[in-house]
Amino acid sequence: MTNISNTKPIYVAAADIHEWARACAQSVGADAGVAQHIATYLLEGDLLGFRTHGLLRLRYNLECLRDGRSRASGEPLVLKDRKAVASWDAQLLPGLYVLPKAIDAACDKAKSCGTGTIVIRRAQHVASLAAYLSLATDRGFMISMFASTPGQRAVAPFGSKQAVFSPNPFAIGVPTQTQPILLDMSLSMTAAGKVRQAIAEERPLPFAGLITPGGEYTNDATTFLADPPSVLASLGGKDLGYKGSGLTLFSELWTMALSNYGRRQGSEDGDANTVWLQVLDPSAFGDQEEFLTESQAQLDAILAATPIDANQPVRVPGSNAIALKKQQLAEGVSYTPAVWRQLEKCAVMCGVDLPEVISKP
Amino acid sequence: MTNISNTKPIYVAAADIHEWARACAQSVGADAGVAQHIATYLLEGDLLGFRTHGLLRLRYNLECLRDGRSRASGEPLVLKDRKAVASWDAQLLPGLYVLPKAIDAACDKAKSCGTGTIVIRRAQHVASLAAYLSLATDRGFMISMFASTPGQRAVAPFGSKQAVFSPNPFAIGVPTQTQPILLDMSLSMTAAGKVRQAIAEERPLPFAGLITPGGEYTNDATTFLADPPSVLASLGGKDLGYKGSGLTLFSELWTMALSNYGRRQGSEDGDANTVWLQVLDPSAFGDQEEFLTESQAQLDAILAATPIDANQPVRVPGSNAIALKKQQLAEGVSYTPAVWRQLEKCAVMCGVDLPEVISKP
């Protein structure tokens, strides 16, 4: 155990923490490929700044592998395949293992058909969608992704105070002439993780993103743990929540209805996800260089827009994440003491010592 | 001219007003097919309750046909085609004529490949996306659509007070065991048409959906006509506008970047649209009956959710539109006196008398 401060971040070399996480996964039975993917795509979440879906989730993944909620080896089952699309059953293999494979398959289909679409049922928790986007953008392709959770109900449809939907992430990746555009967002006003974080920090949410059993929109995070609890509101809130509600319905239909695997089948599946992913080959629609010129023009137009606050330049989705990854690869990945304590628990569980802490240059 | 009240709605038989609109379009040079489509899909907007994109837009369409901004005959050009996708140049044919053809082509591709995707540049104004959705859902297919407008800048990216994006609609259609789910919404907080309506009615917007040149979020609709004007805010507003901004960017990239036809090429194209549409064949991913059971389960779950206001049952996207269409087909299509006056101008322009007004049963 490293002797660590209660407040200062801990830094560790990316390669070291990757190797450690891989060894942890292998120690609980994951085969080589599964262990490698778990380490790579959880770490990628940390590198890009999606801390709630980074190695903080290693412990959950290890527990699932140990107790059989995740399969430790094997391959997804192809349920159906037609030229440009396929439907897979991940059979509770880690989403971290299955999604990169699915993106690969979708890229191959996009090359021959223009688009490639894979829907996947029963992928054990997929963590952050952002972590996978560059698998497509690095090949010059566009990608869109949805994930839903048949075992969860947390988001109320507009006009209701009862949770029906899961809090579904949506992500896109688009190559440009410079850095890719990477967007990963939830379609609800906020996510359960952010509400729990507010509770832990004893502060209200910055906006009224919850609906109480009385039907009031509130920023009081503690209502989320009350009995009965509040539920997550759809993007758009009190005035325009029908838009966010419609978008969440979009994500539920494109995942659960299309895969024929929804709440009727998967209500006991815990955090397992149903996933939609689609890769597009821009050269099937036009000219690849022309496409990159257009996407770059979009990026440039956003960066050139007059900011509301002169000290806050307008940002392009993904730019902070990409800068943070570059910095952390060079200077070390940073963890809060709270997350580091979770990693220490994994180290004990697996009997694999955490790597050396480094000092920030 | 019918002698009409200044306040009471005017009712007219759907078949009569369709024939009238068709004859008007033909009188300004549209060939038979183009005229037929213009009448059908503008009227469909009225039937479904999308009044701002119904026959109110006939006059604009007629003017475009008369002065050559719209092509009155001919076919879209296929620029590129690969198994599951194609890119078309509508050559400024009316979107009302080209979109149904594109959906047909996408359905054929979906049948053989699982998905069919068409992007279209230079479609003259497409009116309401909702009007086209049933072309796919009636065949048991799912559809998603985006439209953008290279000649327009009206929506500010999050963090900015300068318009970069056009106010882009997004629509989906999904069959169920009963009525289809039909969603058609703008990805900005509000649309220019709604702001102009508020100005005409001398009332503020119901929420702060505009950003002033000073960078303030405001509900004051009149700022939209000031010099310099306010701009439309992204869905999510002051707190969560990065989500709506990301979604609008999604729609701009999937239309303009993919078609290689954005603001660099189309800034002088007026209201002409770039369109993305994708049809999915659920039977390529799983079982069609199972799919319909799932989409119906989604619909039922929403309808069963406890409403915030017991007098306002939770609604499913499209249910009001479908009910209104049924009612108007039975009882007559209703027009406000203001819209009727626009139709009277069309009647004069074309020398085609408006049909008999009917009294509501």
The encoded tokens of residue A170 equal 């949506």
| CATH code for the domain in which residue B33 is found | 1.10.1530.10
Percent of chain A with pLDDT over 70: 98
Note whether B38 and B101 are same-domain residues: no
How do residues A296-305 score in pLDDT, each as one tens digit? 999 999 999 9
Note whether B47 and B132 are same-domain residues: no
d(CA B33, CA B73): 8
The band of B7, judged by pLDDT with boundaries at 50, 70 and 90, is confident
How do residues A161-182 score in pLDDT, each as one tens digit? 999 999 999 999 999 999 999 9
Note whether A51 and A170 are same-domain residues: no
Min distance B204 CA to chain A CA atoms (Å): 14
Bridge partners of B335?
Answer: B10
First vs last C-alpha separation in chain B: 22
- B17 in a structural domain: yes
Q: Alpha carbon B351 to chain centroid distance?
A: 28
- A358 in a structural domain: no
Min distance B333 CA to chain A CA atoms (Å): 26
Angle at A322 between CA A320 and CA A323, to 5 degrees: 65
pLDDT at B361 over 90: no
DSSP output for B203-217? ---SS--EE-TTS-E
Question: Can you give the residue range of the structural domain that contains A220?
Answer: 78-289
Note whether A84 and A107 are same-domain residues: yes
Percent of chain A with pLDDT over 90: 94
- A258 in a structural domain: yes
Note whether B104 and B55 are same-domain residues: no
Which burial class, exposed, middle or buried, applies to A122 when counting CB atoms under 10 A from its CB (0-12, 13-18, 19+)? Answer: buried
How do residues B245-275 score in pLDDT, each as one tens digit? 999 999 999 999 999 999 999 999 999 999 9
- A303 in a structural domain: no
Contact A314 B181 (CB under 8 A): no
Note whether B241 and B333 are same-domain residues: no
The encoded tokens of residue B309 equal 């206001």
**Cβ-nearest to B258 among A240, A280, A307:** A280
What are the Cα distances from residue B333, in Å, to A84, B22, B111, B326, B352?
42, 16, 35, 10, 19
Counting every residue written for chain A, the total comes to: 361
Which burial class, exposed, middle or buried, applies to B59 when counting CB atoms under 10 A from its CB (0-12, 13-18, 19+)? Answer: middle
- B294 in a structural domain: no
pLDDT at residue A1, rounded to an integer: 46
DSSP tag of B255:
I
Note whether A200 and A277 are same-domain residues: yes
Q: Which residue of A has its CA nearest to B187?
A: A243
How do residues B22-40 score in pLDDT, each as one tens digit? 999 999 999 999 999 999 9
172-211 of B, contacting A, C-beta below 8 A:
172, 174, 181, 183, 185, 187, 189, 206-207, 211
Note whether A38 and A145 are same-domain residues: no
- B310 in a structural domain: no
Question: What's the mean pLDDT when you consider all of chain A?
Answer: 96
**Boundary-marking domain end, from B289, B308, B333:** B289
Note whether A92 and A46 are same-domain residues: no
How do residues A25-60 score in pLDDT, each as one tens digit? 999 999 999 999 999 999 999 999 999 899 999 999
**Boundary-marking domain end, from B243, B261, B289:** B289
Rounded to an integer, the average pLDDT of A203-213 is 96
Nearest to A273 by CA among A111, A102, A107: A102
**Boundary-marking domain end, from B289, B309, B342:** B289
Q: Which residues of A touch B262 (CB under 8 A)?
A: 294, 297-298
How do residues B143-154 score in pLDDT, each as one tens digit? 999 999 999 999
- B313 in a structural domain: no
Output phi, psi for A117, to 5 deg.
Answer: -130, 130
Note whether B44 and B107 are same-domain residues: no
Note whether B273 and B336 are same-domain residues: no
Confirm if B160 and A305 have CB atoms less than 8 A apart. yes
| CATH code for the domain in which residue A186 is found | 3.30.1370.60
How do residues A231-278 score in pLDDT, each as one tens digit? 999 999 999 999 999 999 999 999 999 999 999 999 999 999 999 999
Strands A115-123 and A273-280: antiparallel
- B295 in a structural domain: no
Rounded to an integer, the average pLDDT of B310-326 is 96
pLDDT at residue B1, rounded to an integer: 46
ipTM field: 0.96
How do residues A111-150 score in pLDDT, each as one tens digit? 999 999 999 999 998 999 999 999 999 999 999 999 999 9
Min distance A108 CA to chain B CA atoms (Å): 13
How many structural domains comprise chain B?
Answer: 2
The encoded tokens of residue B131 equal 């009007």
Note whether B139 and B201 are same-domain residues: yes
Q: Please, how many CA atoms are within 13 Å of residue B214, restricted to the half-sphere of its CB?
A: 5
Nearest to A209 by CA among B159, B218, B211, B236: B236
